[in-house]
Amino acid sequence: MMLYKGFLLFLLASPGDVASLSCYSCNNVDSLDSCKTITTCGKRESCFKRLQKRGQYASFTLGCTQNENCGNIPVYTNVSKLSNGQLLQECEECCGVDQCNKDLCNHKTPPPCSDNMENCAFWNKDFDICEDIHKAKLHCRKFCKLCDLVDGNWADWSSWSTCDVTCGHGKHTRTRTCTNPSPAYKGLDCNGTNTDTKPCTRPLCPVHGGWAGWSSWESCPVTCDIGIQKRHRKCTNPSPLRHGNHCFGDSMDVKLCKQNPCDASNGGWSNWNTWSSCSVSCGGGVKTRSRSCSNPVPGIHGKPCVGDNMQVVTCNKEDCQSNSTVAFNAYYVTDCSPSAGQTMIFSKILMNEGEAYNPSTGVFVAPKDGTYTFYAQLCINSRTSIHFDIMVGSKVYATAYGYDSSAYSCPSTQAIAQMKSGDKAFVQWKSWTQSSNAVPQSYTYVRNFFSGKYSNP
C-alpha cells in the first residue's frame, strides 16, 4: 500500500518536475463551461476538481493543490440520497495532466471492466497495485479481476413509523437498507446510518405516585417497659397527577421499643366486699364475699396478690321441717318510766318458737328470709298519753298513740315486714307525758305485749 501511494504521487509529481502544470481555477461555479481561468501550479502540485451537489443545485471548485492533499486517485466521498429523493453527490479527484481537471468527477460508478493504466502487470509486480482494491478497481479493474465488484448503495427510506409512545415525548423512526445495490465481491458498504428519527409529541402522561423516603423513627412513647414507635412516609416522589395511581402500601410503619423496666410494684388486696345473701333460707346454703387485687394493681414486673379472691361459708343450716315455725309472744314491760328512743323490753315469754326473740334485750332477730307479722300493745293509766313504734332496723313500720282521761287505755298496732336473715325488729318508745307511771304493770284485765310470727318462706 505504501508503494502504491508513492507510485501515485510519482505520477503526479513527475510531470511537474519537468514543467509546471496548467489547471483550470474557479471557486463554486455553476457550470464547468463558465470556468475560463487557468492557473499555473507550483512544484509538486496537481490539478483537482471538487463537485458538490445538493438537490438540483451543483457547484464546482477547480484549481491546484499539493500532491500530499490528493491522497489516492480518484477520491469519492459521501454518496447518498436525500429524503426528497434527489441525489446528493460529493466528489473530489486529482490529476497530473495540463488542464485535466475539467474532465474529472464525471463517473458515478466504477469504470467499465477495463484497465485505465498501461502495463498493469508491471505496476502490480513492482508496486502491488492490486492490493488496494478500491483504487485498483478504477485503474486496473480487469487485470486485478475486479469486474464483478459492486459497491453498496442505500435503498429508499421506509415510511415513518407511528409515534413510539402513547403519551408524552417520543419519536418516529424510519430505516433504509444497503441494497441498491448490495455490496458484492469486496465492494464498499454504504456510508452513513441505516436509521433516522424525528421527535413526536402526545398528550401529557399520567404521573403515578411514588413514596418519598421514610421519616426518622419517633421517640419511644413510654419511659419504661415496652412501647410502639412509629415512622411515616408521604406519596410525594412524585405526587400523583392526571389520574395517576396513588402509592400502594402503608404510609406508617411501627416497631416495638423497649425501655428499662418500670418499678416492679407488687399487687395488694382491696377490702372484702359484704357477704351475699344466703342461697337458701333453711337446710344449709352458702354465702360469699370477694375482693380484688387492685390496691395496688401489680406492675408488669410485680408479683400478683397471694391468697384467694373469694370466701365461701355455709349459712341457714337449720333443718327446714323441724324449724319451719318461727313465732313468739312476750309480755310484761319491765321499765315503767322509759325515755324517748328506748327499746321496750317484754320480759315474760308465753311462746318463743325458733328462739328468735331475746327477752333480755326486747329484740327479735329474723332467723331466715321471709315475711313477718308483728303486734304490739301498751296500756296506760288514765289521764296519761303514750306514743310508740314497731321498728324493723332503723325504719318505722307501724305507730300507735293513745290517751284516756277517765280510765285505762291500751293502744295497739300491727306491722308486716319483708326481712332478711339477721334483720332486727323491736318496739321503741317515742314520748310520754303527764305521769311518771304512764306504763303500768299488766293486770288480768290489761296487758302489755309484743308478738310476731314468720308468715312464709
Q: Within its chain, how far is the Cα of 260 from the centroid?
A: 30
378: enclosing H helix or E strand: none
Q: Going residue by residue through the chain (457 aa), what tens digit of pLDDT does each one get?
A: 333 344 444 444 443 344 688 999 999 888 887 888 999 999 888 888 888 877 667 788 999 988 888 754 444 333 333 334 444 456 778 888 888 888 776 544 555 677 777 778 887 877 788 888 877 887 888 888 888 888 888 898 899 999 999 898 999 999 999 998 898 888 888 888 899 999 999 998 899 999 999 999 999 998 887 889 999 999 999 999 988 899 999 999 999 998 877 767 788 999 999 999 888 877 778 889 999 998 888 876 778 899 888 888 888 877 665 456 899 999 888 777 778 888 999 999 999 998 999 999 999 999 988 899 999 988 877 677 778 899 999 999 999 887 665 566 788 899 999 999 999 999 998 865 444 555 665 565 678 899 999 976 5
Residue with cell 315469754: 349
> May I ask the CATH architecture of the domain 2-108?
Ribbon (2.10)
Domain ranges of the chain: 2-108, 269-320, 327-456
* CATH number for the domain running over 269-320: 2.20.100.10
Helix, strand, or coil (residue 307): coil
Bridge partners (DSSP) of residue 253 are 231
**DSSP line for 116-159:** SSTTHHHHHHHH-GGGSHHHHHHHBTTTTT-TT-B-----PPPP
The pLDDT tens digits of the residues spanning 291-344 come to 999 888 887 677 889 988 888 888 887 766 545 689 999 988 877 777 888 899
Who contacts 145 (Cβ-Cβ below 8 Å, separation ≥6)? none
Give dist(CA 418, CA 179) in Å, integer: 122
321: enclosing H helix or E strand: none
The pLDDT tens digits of the residues spanning 196-213 come to 999 999 998 899 999 999
**Domain 327-456 classified CATH 2.60.120.40?**
yes
Cα within 13 Å of Cα(166), Cβ side: 1
Residue with cell 433504509: 176
